[in-house]
Amino acid sequence: MKVLVAVDKSRESHMALAYTCHLMEHFNARVHALYVKPDAVQVAAESFYAPFFSTDGLAEWIDSEALEVQRESFENCEYCLAGQVPCQPMIATGDPAEEILETAREGNYDLIVLGSHGASALRGFLLGAVHAKILHRASRPVLIVRDYREIKRVLVAYRGSQCDQDAFRFLGPLFLRRRPKLTVLRVQEEGRSADAAAAEACFLEDQKTLQGMGHEPEIKTIKGRYEEEILREVNSLPYDLVVLGAYGHTRPRILKLISDDALNLVRSTTRPVLVFRNKSEP
C-alpha cells in the first residue's frame, strides 16, 4: 500500500504522519510525506509578506521553510522506520490541493492522509478549501486525522441498502495484525425503497468478507437517519477511527462528489475519519 501524507509546519500535520506510521506499523506499506511549498511569484503577488522581502529574499524564505518541514518530516518518519515501514519526505511547488491530488494520481497512491485543526496552512477544517477540494475530488480513500491515538476500537458506518465489500477488502488487511475491536453500525434508513432481501444479501456478503480475513466484527443494526445514528454511536464509545463511504443515496458515484451527510460527519466529529472511495472506479 502506498500512502501520501500531506505535511506543513503545523503540529497537526506531523501528528497525522505519526498516526499514519502507527496505523501502518508492520504492514506492507510505503509512506511519503509531501510538503507543497508556495510559488514565490504567486506569494509575491498575493501575500502581505511581499513588502518585506525582495524577490530573491522571498524565494530564500520559502526554501528555508521547506527545508525545516523536510527536517521535521525526517524526524517523524522515524516512527515509521521503527515499525518497519519505509517513509520518505517529498517537496512539490504550487497549489496545495492540486499538488496533493496530482501526486496521488501520478504516484498511484492508495490513501491520502491530512491533518486537521489548529493553525495549519493545510487546514480547512472546519471546513476550508484544501480539505474540501481533496475530499470532493480524490479518487481514493482520504483519512482525516484529528489527534494521535492508539487504534483499539474502529467504527465502520454502513448504509443498510448498499454493498460495501470493497471498503471491507480495503480495511480487512489493514487491521489484520493490529486486530482492533471492529464495530459495524448498519443504519437502515427510513423511507428508502431498497429491496430488503437484496440489502440483506449484500450485508451478509460484506460480513463474510471481513470474517474471511479473520475478523469477527460486532454488528449493530438500527433504523433511523444515517448521519444522526452514526454521530450518536461515535459519541457513545471511545472509537479511535471512524470509517464511512463517500457516497450517499442522493449523490451518485459517477459525480465523484462526497455526499452531504458524509461531509457533515467529517465536520462534526473530533475522531479520525477515513472516507472510503474505491480507487478502481472509473
Domains assigned to the chain: 2-145 (3.40.50.620), 153-276 (3.40.50.620)
CB-count burial class (<10 Å; 0-12, 13-18, 19+) for 127: middle
DSSP-based three-state secondary structure for 237: coil
Cα angle for residues 127, 131, 132 (degrees, 5° grid)? 70
> Side by side, which strands form the sheet with 87-93?
87-93, 30-37, 2-7, 111-115, 142-145, 273-276, 241-245, 153-159, 181-188, 218-223
Q: Which residue has the cell 450485508?
A: 203
pLDDT computed for residue 113 by the predictor = 95
CA torsion through residues 99, 133, 144, 177, sign: negative
Mean pLDDT by 10 residues, the chain (282 residues): 89 86 86 82 50 60 70 74 84 90 95 73 51 88 87 87 74 84 87 65 80 85 91 93 78 63 85 87 61
For the chain, the 3-state helix, strand and coil shares in percent, each to the nearest 5, are 45, 20, 35
pLDDT computed for residue 168 by the predictor = 84
DSSP-based three-state secondary structure for 194: coil
Query: Grid coordinates in use for 28?
Result: 506492507
pTM of the model: 0.84
183: enclosing H helix or E strand: strand 181-188
pLDDT computed for residue 45 by the predictor = 45
Q: Are 31 and 20 in contact (CB under 8 A)?
A: yes
pLDDT computed for residue 99 by the predictor = 93
